[in-house]
Amino acid sequence: MTNTGRLETFCDGVFAIAITLLVLGIRVPAANEDVGASLIAQWPTFLAYLISFVTIGIMWVNHHRLFALIDKSNPTFAYINVGFLLFVAFVPFPTELMAAQLGAGSLAGQRVAMVLYCGTFFAIAIMFNAIWLYAASGARLLRPELDLEALRVGARRFAIGPPAYLIVTLLAVVNPYVSLALVGLLAIYWMLPGSAPDTAPAP
Amino acid sequence: MTNTGRLETFCDGVFAIAITLLVLGIRVPAANEDVGASLIAQWPTFLAYLISFVTIGIMWVNHHRLFALIDKSNPTFAYINVGFLLFVAFVPFPTELMAAQLGAGSLAGQRVAMVLYCGTFFAIAIMFNAIWLYAASGARLLRPELDLEALRVGARRFAIGPPAYLIVTLLAVVNPYVSLALVGLLAIYWMLPGSAPDTAPAP
Amino acid sequence: MTNTGRLETFCDGVFAIAITLLVLGIRVPAANEDVGASLIAQWPTFLAYLISFVTIGIMWVNHHRLFALIDKSNPTFAYINVGFLLFVAFVPFPTELMAAQLGAGSLAGQRVAMVLYCGTFFAIAIMFNAIWLYAASGARLLRPELDLEALRVGARRFAIGPPAYLIVTLLAVVNPYVSLALVGLLAIYWMLPGSAPDTAPAP
Amino acid sequence: MTNTGRLETFCDGVFAIAITLLVLGIRVPAANEDVGASLIAQWPTFLAYLISFVTIGIMWVNHHRLFALIDKSNPTFAYINVGFLLFVAFVPFPTELMAAQLGAGSLAGQRVAMVLYCGTFFAIAIMFNAIWLYAASGARLLRPELDLEALRVGARRFAIGPPAYLIVTLLAVVNPYVSLALVGLLAIYWMLPGSAPDTAPAP
């Protein structure tokens, strides 16, 4: 058993790098291109940057809120977090793929790209809940003074993630643009108060 | 409410990565090129590296000074910082675009590139003030022992950022080189004492 | 003599960046390619991402466990860690090389690539033991309250790393695919309890 | 005046990223190339990776040793560190340039590349001394209990950096290979005890 300091530093590092690498997916027009037209034609790249950045940013905030409840770590918990980061660090790839397909690909290509994009967030949502369940099961790693009953209420809304992203992933087969819009809406939903278990004192 | 430790770590990570990714925008000449001539022809890339690096570096110092005044965080404050980082992490893209255009592009391309470059700093300046206003409004997140009146004096000079970068962005339509010079001058201005609210003890 | 805080921060940073750079080795199909077929043909890239990510992740966890035993640092110890990081930061290169060769290379190319890939983990395992031996020799840098006898038991299993990766490296000359499978199995082995000296209290 | 915690985190981040980005300068052979021959032909790239990694690593250790003497920071000190990082983060560019030229360039190209490579370390050495001189001047930012006389002895050997790298830079015009060897030797020299002011207690 150790404290969570270094695990948080490592997770913060991976989050910060993955979110900053997103910019490398935006193509710089060659010097002899029409810059304005080239940037406008690249609109899906900018949209993809925005949605992925905000989604990763919110996942980071919620990871941070979750760890505010936790006061110790062990190797198993660290491994679960590594599994979580496996998908967080993967996000720049489906982001760039999706942007390339939305801009110029076939409908079939857009479907594959969007399934991979939404599927990555589905996997992240599952791992997020695995982190929470491992830490909260029997209050294993939680700070002792917390009100478990209040936390369960928050966790219930928190558990919406996996089914929500599963539906969005399945919808991507039907209409990739609807799925992209829903990923954006889900990002806004996670920002609402009460969407994650919080340290609010019990009444 | 949590302390600001992990938010600062995350912001520092994004700042450090964005500032270090700038070097990837400098093209390594092929082995059979005339290296000296190639490096000289790339002078706008080096200038862009210098100005963006110093500007991001100063923004980091001022973010650091700001957070020295703040002693707690909440999810909304974290989201505002994510919005701020959205533009900080974006800087390598307009930097590379601007360098490519200054080196070989048309005047129209240089205008578009420089508007995007200066516009990014305009957005950063707005978000910077949003961070400050949210934290300082009703002294919401500030350290209790601070002299609010003294801070307001510092904040006034601090609020120069958005209009200054807006003017520089508009000027980029007229003359991109003048705007670039002004971005460099603004960087020097932000280094002057008194350009940000500081922890100096009240008299 | 200083505490280990900043050495850990630096190591965590390199680990986090190396693990996150792995995603840059996955090629985004061009907009006019058949996306599904292209991703399937790239299966070794995804497998390489998975195995390298998990292996680096586990090395990080074990580095973290090791440092939980250590309470001070000195320049020599820092240099040994820099030597360790030299190989950790190198991992993205043989990972990408191996993935490219498994996908389309000749058997000779696959052998070279896999020897370099496994050889990098061999070097990491050696440096890992060097870190441990320097810190533990005469209990030089260890926390004073630790039970050295109990640690020696853990360290014995820990010392399996170098010979195990040497065998895997040599096997790569015979059959690269068997070596890759063994690297994956070794990653699982390192996750088992007792594979590293731990802070468990002595009985 | 603030403590140095966040400045160190930021510097550590830039060091860690710059050192890890070096691996991106190593070209992965295409699937249909002769992998072994291609890697051997790339030997200057591996040598460049080794020398730059070790040099940055040692600079980090010495930065760390320096900051162990310092207990507070101010904006000016932060700006000097940003200037120092400007050159640290630049190292991947001359490293890749130098490796490309040593492998296949003309002697003229090798001279230009090596002057830029050694000149970058010259600039870093100057900034390193600027950090030290600003902090130590009038003991401005030093920990109060330090023996200033003992520190001056260490600082004297420390001040060897700028003239040493200046000579190496000038020699690069005559013979780039001799300069590269000397950069490697200097790295070893900085690892020797006593090459930086240290916290050793005064006698």
pLDDT band (50, 70, 90) for residue B202: very low
Q: What confidence score (pLDDT) does residue C192 get?
A: 79
Sites in chain C below the pLDDT cut of 70: 1-2, 149-150, 153-154, 157, 194-203
Record: contact A68-B93, CB cut-off 8 A: no
Collapsed DSSP state (helix, strand, coil) of residue C73:
strand
Q: Is B79 on the interface with A (CB under 8 A)?
A: yes
Residue at token pair 């599904």: C36
Instruction: With beta carbons under 8 A apart, name residues in chain D contacting C90.
Output: 23, 49
Phi/psi at D142 (nearest 5 deg)? Answer: -80, 160
pLDDT band (50, 70, 90) for residue B200: very low
Q: With a cut of 60, say whether residue D7 has pLDDT above it.
A: yes
Task: Please give the residue of chain D at the shortest CA–CA distance from C2.
Answer: D68
Q: How far apart are CA B121 and CA B55, in angstroms?
A: 9
**Shortest Cα distance, chain A CAs vs residue C161, angstroms:** 18
Q: How far apart are CA C111 and CA D177, in angstroms?
A: 32
Q: Is A78 on the interface with C (CB under 8 A)?
A: yes
Write out residues 50-69 of C within 8 Å (CB-CB) of A: 50, 53-54, 57-58, 60-61, 64-65, 67-68
Residue at token pair 């191996």: C98
Q: With a cut of 60, say whether residue A122 has pLDDT above it.
A: yes
pLDDT band (50, 70, 90) for residue D41: confident
Q: How far apart are CA B169 and CA B160, in angstroms?
A: 14
Residue D127 in tokens = 């900034």
Q: What confidence score (pLDDT) does residue D6 get?
A: 82
Instruction: With beta carbons under 8 A apart, name residues in chain C contacting A78.
Output: 61, 64
Mean pLDDT within D64-82? 87
Instruction: With beta carbons under 8 A apart, name residues in chain D contacting B28.
Output: 25, 93, 96-97, 100
Q: Is D71 on the interface with C (CB under 8 A)?
A: no
Q: What confidence score (pLDDT) does residue D201 get?
A: 38
Instruction: With beta carbons under 8 A apart, name residues in chain D contacting C14.
Output: 16, 19-20
Q: What confidence score (pLDDT) does residue A203 get?
A: 32
β partners of residue B73: B2
Cβ atoms of residues C75 and A116 within 8 Å: no
Residue B96 in tokens = 């590379």
Give the list of residues 6+ apart from residue D17 with CB closer than 8 angstroms, or none.
B16, B17, B20, B21, C13, C17, D89
Q: What confidence score (pLDDT) does residue A3 get?
A: 75
pLDDT band (50, 70, 90) for residue D203: very low
Q: What angle do CA D160, D163, D167 make, to 5 degrees?
A: 130
Residue C181: count other Cβ atoms within 10 Å of its Cβ.
14
Nearest alpha-carbon partner for A134 in A105, A120, A155, A150: A155
Q: How far apart are CA D129 and CA D155, in angstroms?
A: 9
Indicate which of A8, A17, A28 best probes the interface with B, i.e. most B CBs within 10 Å of its own CB.
A28
Beta-carbon-side half-sphere exposure of residue B153 (alpha carbons within 13 Å): 10
Q: With a cut of 80, say whether residue D93 has pLDDT above it.
A: yes
Cβ atoms of residues D179 and D171 within 8 Å: yes
Tell me what the pLDDT averaged over chain D comes to: 85
Nearest alpha-carbon partner for D20 in A60, B17, A89, C125: B17
Q: Is C71 on the interface with A (CB under 8 A)?
A: no
Cβ atoms of residues B30 and D30 within 8 Å: no
Q: Is A23 on the interface with B (CB under 8 A)?
A: yes
Task: Tally C-beta pairs within 8 A across A and B.
Answer: 103
Give the residue with greater pLDDT, A105 vs D178.
D178
Record: contact C28-A112, CB cut-off 8 A: no
Nearest alpha-carbon partner for C199 in C160, C161, C142: C142
Q: How far apart are CA A85 and CA A14, in angstroms?
A: 7
Q: What confidence score (pLDDT) does residue B81 get?
A: 94
Q: What confidence score (pLDDT) does residue B132 get?
A: 87
Instruction: With beta carbons under 8 A apart, name residues in chain C contacting A93.
Output: 23, 26, 28
Instruction: With beta carbons under 8 A apart, name residues in chain D contacting C116.
Output: 39
Per-residue H/E/C for chain B: CECCHHHHHHHHHHHHHHHHHHHHHCCCCCCCCCHHHHHHHCHHHHHHHHHHHHHHHHHHHHHHHHHCCECCECHHHHHHHHHHHHHHCCCHHHHHHHHHHHHHCCHHHHHHHHHHHHHHHHHHHHHHHHHHHHHHHHHCCECCCCCHHHHHHHHHHHCCHHHHHHHHHHHHHHCHHHHHHHHHHHHHHHHCCCCCCCCCCCC
Instruction: With beta carbons under 8 A apart, name residues in chain A contacting B112.
Output: 35-36, 39
pLDDT band (50, 70, 90) for residue B192: confident
**Shortest Cα distance, chain B CAs vs residue A195, angstroms:** 11
Give the list of residues 6+ apart from residue A99 with CB closer than 8 angstroms, or none.
A25, A42, A44, A45, A47, A48, A49
Instruction: With beta carbons under 8 A apart, name residues in chain D contacting B64.
Output: 2, 6-7, 10, 78
Output the DSSP codes for A3-45: -SHHHHHHHHHHHHHHHHHGGGGSPPPPTTS-HHHHHHHTHHH
pLDDT tens track for B45-81: 899 899 999 999 988 988 888 888 888 888 889 999 9
For helices D75-88 and D5-21, the axis angle rounded to 10 degrees is: 10
Looking at the partner chain, which of C50, C61, C199 has a beta carbon nearest the beta carbon of A79?
C61
Give the list of residues 6+ apart from residue C188 with CB closer than 8 angstroms, or none.
none
Q: What confidence score (pLDDT) does residue C203 get?
A: 32
Q: With a cut of 70, say whether residue A136 has pLDDT above it.
A: yes
Record: contact D10-B12, CB cut-off 8 A: yes
Side chain identity at residue B168, one-letter code: V
Record: contact B7-A64, CB cut-off 8 A: yes
Q: What confidence score (pLDDT) does residue C201 get?
A: 38
Q: What confidence score (pLDDT) does residue B95 get?
A: 93
Mean pLDDT within B156-180? 89
Record: contact D21-B20, CB cut-off 8 A: yes
Q: How far apart are CA C135 and CA C67, in angstroms?
A: 10
Chains that touch C (3 or more CB pairs under 8 A): A, D
Cβ atoms of residues B159 and B136 within 8 Å: no
Looking at the partner chain, which of C8, C16, C34 has a beta carbon nearest the beta carbon of A14?
C16
Beta-carbon-side half-sphere exposure of residue A167 (alpha carbons within 13 Å): 9
Record: contact B60-D82, CB cut-off 8 A: yes
pLDDT tens track for A10-69: 899 999 999 999 998 888 888 788 888 889 888 888 998 999 999 999 989 888 888 888
Looking at the partner chain, which of A2, A18, A109 has a beta carbon nearest the beta carbon of C20?
A18
pLDDT tens track for B27-37: 888 877 888 88
Q: What confidence score (pLDDT) does residue D123 get?
A: 96
Q: What confidence score (pLDDT) does residue A18 get?
A: 93
Write out residues 161-200 of A within 8 Å (CB-CB) of B: 191, 193, 199
Q: Is B138 on the interface with D (CB under 8 A)?
A: no
Q: Is C24 on the interface with A (CB under 8 A)?
A: yes
pLDDT tens track for B169-183: 999 999 989 999 999
Instruction: With beta carbons under 8 A apart, name residues in chain C contacting D29.
Output: 97, 100, 109
Q: How far apart are CA B10 and CA B3, in angstroms?
A: 13
β partners of residue B70: B142
Instruction: With beta carbons under 8 A apart, name residues in chain B contacting D101.
Output: 31, 35
Chains that touch A (3 or more CB pairs under 8 A): B, C
pLDDT tens track for D128-137: 999 988 888 7
Phi/psi at A132 (nearest 5 deg)? Answer: -65, -45
Q: Is D1 on the interface with C (CB under 8 A)?
A: no
Instruction: With beta carbons under 8 A apart, name residues in chain C contacting D193.
Output: 75
Q: With a cut of 50, say whether residue D30 has pLDDT above it.
A: yes
Q: How far apart are CA B194 and CA D148, in angstroms?
A: 32
pLDDT band (50, 70, 90) for residue D194: low
